[in-house]
Amino acid sequence: MKASRIATVGALAGTAVLALSVPAFAHVSVQPEGTAAKGGYAVVDFKVPNERDNASTTKLEVTFPTDHPLASVMPQPVPGWKAEVTKSKLDKPLEMHGKKITEAVSKVTWTADGKGVEPGFFQKFPVSVGTLPEDADELVFKAIQTYSNKEVVRWIEVPQEGQEEPENPAPVLELSAAEEGHHGSSSSDKASAEASAEASDSDDAEAASAKTDAAEPADSSDTTARVLGVVGIVVGALGVAYGVIAGRRRTDA
């Protein structure tokens, strides 16, 4: 009887954890390759998982923040996808390397040439960005995901601190503290950006494409880590339940 109680408590704990964890697998997100330091450059990856089992993701539109415009935005070539960069005029010009910038990238659109991101897979879209703002802790990128069956999912809801995560949260890039010289990880990231810009007419084209994460299984390392975390929590819950029952047994004795 007591063993059955432990099993029940463990099962309930595991179910609750999984219910809270599953939505996080499906979000379009953005993460830096290394660091994204204020005042510097960075290469960031927009990760797009396929949530459907009967359609492929064939288009991704990412809107760049207008409150903190980025003067330099260069997508890295992704095999099987065409990238289109849209620029808009700035209300207030920016200064970059001694030059006045009057326009900035407002949107990047990736369109699949073939099957796109098929069910059970995800795709990363790398972009070199800079100069990152020094007066912000994060940047919000609203994204629109289109499927082969014409379904459109809008990841545009801005998460609010202290509140539950919205159903369709927008990708948010966390910025780290400015590094000495305000270049962040610019030394390596600028090299990546330059390699991407010259890839079309140099021998580095294959190397640049090789660095791109093509569509990868959705059950990759990050999923494994989450599963292991869930297992750890369930085991902990079983331990707590056993301790409670054992304590009651000693009291009854």
* pLDDT tens string 214-239: 455 554 445 444 545 554 554 455 55
Q: What is the pTM of this model?
A: 0.64
**pLDDT at 228 (0 to 100):** 53
Spatial separation of the C-alpha atoms in residues 87 and 67, rounded to whole Å: 15
Element (H, E) at 83: strand 81-96
Q: List the one residue out of 20, 13, 2, 8 whose CA is nearest residue 237.
A: 13
Instruction: Please measure the distance between the N-terminal and C-terminal CA atoms of the chain and give it in whole angstroms.
Output: 17
pLDDT at residue 111 greater than cutoff 90: yes
Average pLDDT value for residue range 176-202: 52
Q: List the one residue out of 125, 130, 136 whose CA is nearest residue 187.
A: 130
**pLDDT at 97 (0 to 100):** 67
Between 240 and 69, the more confident residue is 69
CB 77 within 8 A of CB 205: yes
Between 148 and 187, the more confident residue is 148
Q: List the one residue out of 12, 119, 9 whose CA is nearest residue 57.
A: 119
pLDDT at residue 23 greater than cutoff 60: no
